[in-house]
């Protein structure tokens, strides 16, 4: 857009992005003033099977974003669910929040209901619990529970923290069973609950602050550093021991 001469700063068309700006500068794109970023927002979406989690698909398959209600703003997905998977997908309008929720350091548990054709022995499930390697890719240990046998199928609950591409399907193939249904039921503290297929529900700001450690403006809250012991002073008379507690 800059190269095409569509951006001006303080009334002057710019030809390079190498320009520092502040909140006091007036930035105009295509004649429209660029305002402040909207507050971060987060939605729960019950993804149906048969949708790809991309903005556009080279095979012209239906996408998650094309299926969202028309009143939804422009959003991004937190992670992905593959074409045939269903269940909970987090959506946000904020790129920084998306990156934060996807970081491996977040370590949030993703929980899935998994239906397999056939049955899996405890010995084979133990391979998943210890961590398994498939075609040179090492997957971290999974939490796996055998729930019930249902005719020729069996249901498992599988929880993991990494969520690599098609991780559960590839791991199940490796132990000799085929996944024929995969439903994500939770992502960290957020639950699919009773949300129906195709429905969207916005997470309240209060819940976002509590669960994501954000401040009142939905920015990452900065935790105060504990005062080093050598800097602590004994409390004055009447104070409770002069101790501080880092919260």
Catalytic position from the list 15, 25, 60, 82: 82
Asked about 82 being catalytic, the answer comes back as: yes
Residue 100 token pair: 């934060």
Band of the pLDDT at 245, cuts 50, 70, 90?
very low
Query: Would you identify the CATH topology of the domain 1-36?
Result: 3.10.290
**Helix and strand numbers, DSSP H then E, in the chain:** 5, 15
**Percentage of residues of the chain with pLDDT beyond 70:** 87
- pLDDT above 80 (res 37): no
Burial (CB count within 10 angstroms: exposed 0-12, middle 13-18, buried 19+), residue 146:
middle
**Region of poorest pLDDT, from 81-90, 145-154, 196-205, 236-245:** 236-245
Which of the following CATH numbers is that of domain 109-187: 3.40.50.150, 3.30.70.1560, 3.40.50.300, 3.40.50.1220? Answer: 3.30.70.1560
Q: Residue 221: pLDDT band by 50, 70, 90 thresholds? A: low
Q: What residues does 14 pair with on adjacent strands?
A: none
Give 158's strand partners.
112, 144
Integer Cα distance of 209 and 73 in angstroms: 21
Q: Which fold has domain 38-107+189-217?
A: Alpha-Beta Plaits (3.30.70)
Q: Among 8-12, 52-56, 76-80, 168-172, which is the least confidently predicted range?
A: 52-56
């Amino acid at each position: 857009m800059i190269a095409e001469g569509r951006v001006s700063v303080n009334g002057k068309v710019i030809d390079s992005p190498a320009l520092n700006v502040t909140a006091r500068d007036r930035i105009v794109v295509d004649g429209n003033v660029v305002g402040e970023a909207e507050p971060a927002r987060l939605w729960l979406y019950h993804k149906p099977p048969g949708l790809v989690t991309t903005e556009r698909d080279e095979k012209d398959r239906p996408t998650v974003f094309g299926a969202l209600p028309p009143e939804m703003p422009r959003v991004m997905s937190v992670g992905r669910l593959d074409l045939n998977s269903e269940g909970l997908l987090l959506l946000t309008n904020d790129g920084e929040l998306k990156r934060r929720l996807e970081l491996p350091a977040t370590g949030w548990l993703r929980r899935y209901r998994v239906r397999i054709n056939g049955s899996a022995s405890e010995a084979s499930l133990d391979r998943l619990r210890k961590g398994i390697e498939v075609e040179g890719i090492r997957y971290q240990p999974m939490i796996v529970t055998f729930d019930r046998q249902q005719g020729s199928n069996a249901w498992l609950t599988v929880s993991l923290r990494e969520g690599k591409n098609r991780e559960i399907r590839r791991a199940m193939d490796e132990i000799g069973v085929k996944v024929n249904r995969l439903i994500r039921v939770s992502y960290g503290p957020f639950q699919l609950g009773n949300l129906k297929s195709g429905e969207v529900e916005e997470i309240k700001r209060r819940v976002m602050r509590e669960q994501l450690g954000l401040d009142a403006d939905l920015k990452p809250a900065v935790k105060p550093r504990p005062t080093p012991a050598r800097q602590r002073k004994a409390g004055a008379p009447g104070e409770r021991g002069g101790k501080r507690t880092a919260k």
